[in-house]
Structure 1
Amino acid sequence: MKMIERLESELLPLRIKLKNHSIYNKIESLGDIQIFMESHVFAVWDFMSLLKKLQSILSCNQIPWYPSGFPKASRLINEIVWGEESDVNQEGIPMSHFEMYLDAMKNIKANTKEINHLINEVRSCNDIFDIINKSSLPKYVKNFVEFTFEVIQTEKPHVIAAVFTFGREDLIPDMFIEIIKNLKASTNEDLSDLIYYFERHIEVDSGEHGPLALEMIKELCQNDKTKWEEALSYSKQALENRINLWDGILSSISIKSKLVTAN
């Protein structure tokens, strides 16, 4: 069995567990969607740091410029950055997917105070771990974001690329299709901005990025067994962290639902 096939095979049980997570059937009201978005927005945000770190490694950002040595991987990452950082919204206005998500949150009156506070802190402080630690975010959100930046701090291209591919990028189509199905059936509210965001993610990520991302992993790991083992280990942790994030959000939705019922 090829190393990439073995990696995919060993990750499959976690991917199945994630795809079948009960959160997809519990987002039933506008309040549920608000709770979901108020935590998920941090995953939308820290995804960009993973992506930009990969871009800085695989494409030369130094002056004077020189070839990075990873032309195929560089092309893939630059394409993804272009789509994620400078897409267009429903009105044709250029903006990042993160900014689209914030607009969608505002449209349904979800609370953006925590994410805006974090962004302001990031602008004035370089220690992301200190910012996270001092925040009032739920523990499951803190753990998720901290893991992302621990991965970035490894400075290992194969590790960052594996987490990006198997723990983030490669999951998006499966997960978001499930969420969209529930969103369309769960409320009469105007969710056009949010659905557009999800549909853009699916459109951008479901095409050729998946196969190219696998080629990127193979290019970065080569025949180095240690790199493949690290790629597998960190990818498993990434999936486990996503499951824990979903568990935490589901718990928050359930608690809110019980409070509403009690009143």
Structure 2
Amino acid sequence: MTSRVEHTDVGAYALGILGEPDRTAFSDHLATCPSCTAELRELSGVADALAGIGPLGDDVAGAGEGNPAEVVDLLRRRRTADRRARRGTFVIGAAAAVTLVAGGIAAGTAISGEGGSVPVGHSAHGPAEEAYRTGTPLAGKGASGVTGGLVLETKGWGTHAVLELRGVKGPLECELVAVSPTGERRVVTGWAVPERGYGVPGSPEPLYVHGGVAWGPAGIDHFEVRTNGGDTLLTVAV
């Protein structure tokens, strides 16, 4: 990078292995490059995870001797290959590269089922699960073996609803439906249940989904989880 600043050298800068002239040049570059600045924030977890890690043995194929330069090379090649992908995809690749060199230490970010990214050391829950866990759930009344609840948030545009559902097996297509006091119905969100199901033996994790309806809480009598076959799996009174 002595002749020009390379955007892909953000990895080397994060790991602190650039020479002084290159480090100074890249530091100046960061002041005018929002893309590299944002990427550096994402890669800070990678640098922290590598701190204090010594060389590895020959048992990790392709990892060399744990040379940090090889990490940068992997980061750089991944960045070049994924330059047209969104940044979250690159961070997954960076985490995978560091895992090879660091001998299984999880670094970078974990991607939730909702598509959000969570730094190492923080909650790996998706946004729907996190909203449910931090809210005050309304318990639902379920069909045989089905349990669950809702967390409701009043918004300027209506009501945000977060559902936890357990005890269902597929294949099924389901909808969360809001029902007004007059019986009017609005679909909040929909999803598919795979054959293995959610919150059942062999697949113990519950399902978390969320969506919105234009009505405020005063305009909602209850919510229903219904299958595409017309069966009601769960009812939650408001």
Scaled to the shorter chain, the TM-score interval is under 0.3
The structure whose Rg is larger is 2
Higher helix share: 1
Q: Which structure's relative contact order is higher, taking Cα pairs within 8 Å and 6+ residues apart?
A: 1
